[in-house]
């Protein structure tokens, strides 16, 4: 019997940490289904992705380890998805450790170690710092330009 694995995530600014966990989850079965959080649901989770939902879904669907990518738009859909797709294993990163143990009455629940040294939060921080530095540099240039204009006039 084919073994079905289910997981969920935002997968914003898709990086090697996301790739690794999808690869390791696929190794736990024959079919991997991934719920990708909608932008509306991320607002509920207090997250604001940079990449819009449609694009994140398309990226996850294109990953070789992923057999089916579906929208995740509420906390309670996991039990419905487990029944709908006849799931055997629910897996997610250890940052959610213990949060989904209740699903253990229906499926095997596994928490996998995260990939260290990479996170969307860190990527966003670097990007925003880059942005700020840029803005500061621009402001300096404008200030010196207006100084020159003043001196010339």
Q: Which of 28, 109, 115, 123 binds ligand C2G (CB under 6 A)?
A: 115
Point out the residue whose Cβ comes nearest to ligand C2G. 93
Measure the CA angle with vertex 43, ends 20 and 13; round to 5°: 30
- How many of the chain's residues bind ligand C2G (CB under 6 A)? 17
**35: burial class by Cβ within 10 Å (0-12, 13-18, 19+)?**
buried
Cα angle 23, 74, 122 (rounded to 5 degrees) comes to 50
Q: Can you tell me the distance from the alpha carbon of 33 to that of 124, in angstroms, rounded to the nearest whole number?
A: 27
**Residue tagged 């596994």 (tokens):** 110
Which range touches ligand C2G (CB under 6 A), out of 9-17, 57-65, 129-137, 141-149?
A: 9-17
Catalytic residue numbers? 45, 47
Between 121 and 144, CB nearer to ligand C2G: 121
Q: Tell me the closest approach of the beta carbon of residue 30 to ligand C2G, in angstroms.
A: 20
Contact string 41-70 vs ligand C2G (x = CB under 6 A): ------x-----------------------
Q: How far apart are CA 15 and CA 51, in angstroms?
A: 12
Residue numbers at the binding site for ligand C2G (CB under 6 A): 8-11, 17-18, 21, 37, 47, 72, 92-93, 95, 114-115, 118-119
């Amino acid at each position: 019997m084919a073994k079905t694995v289910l997981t969920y995530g935002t997968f914003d600014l898709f990086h090697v940490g996301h790739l690794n966990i999808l690869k390791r989850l696929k190794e736990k079965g024959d079919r991997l289904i991934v719920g990708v959080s909608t932008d509306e649901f991320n607002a509920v989770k207090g997250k604001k992705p940079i990449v819009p939902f449609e694009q994140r879904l398309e990226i996850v669907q294109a990953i070789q380890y992923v057999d089916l990518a579906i929208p995740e738009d509420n906390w309670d859909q996991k039990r419905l998805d487990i029944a709908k797709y006849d799931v055997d294993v629910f897996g997610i990163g250890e940052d959610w450790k213990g949060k989904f143990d209740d699903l253990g009455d229906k499926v095997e629940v596994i928490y996998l170690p995260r990939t260290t040294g990479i996170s969307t939060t860190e990527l966003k921080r670097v990007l925003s710092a880059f942005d700020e530095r840029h803005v500061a540099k621009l402001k300096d240039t404008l200030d010196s330009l207006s100084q020159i204009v003043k001196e010339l006039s």
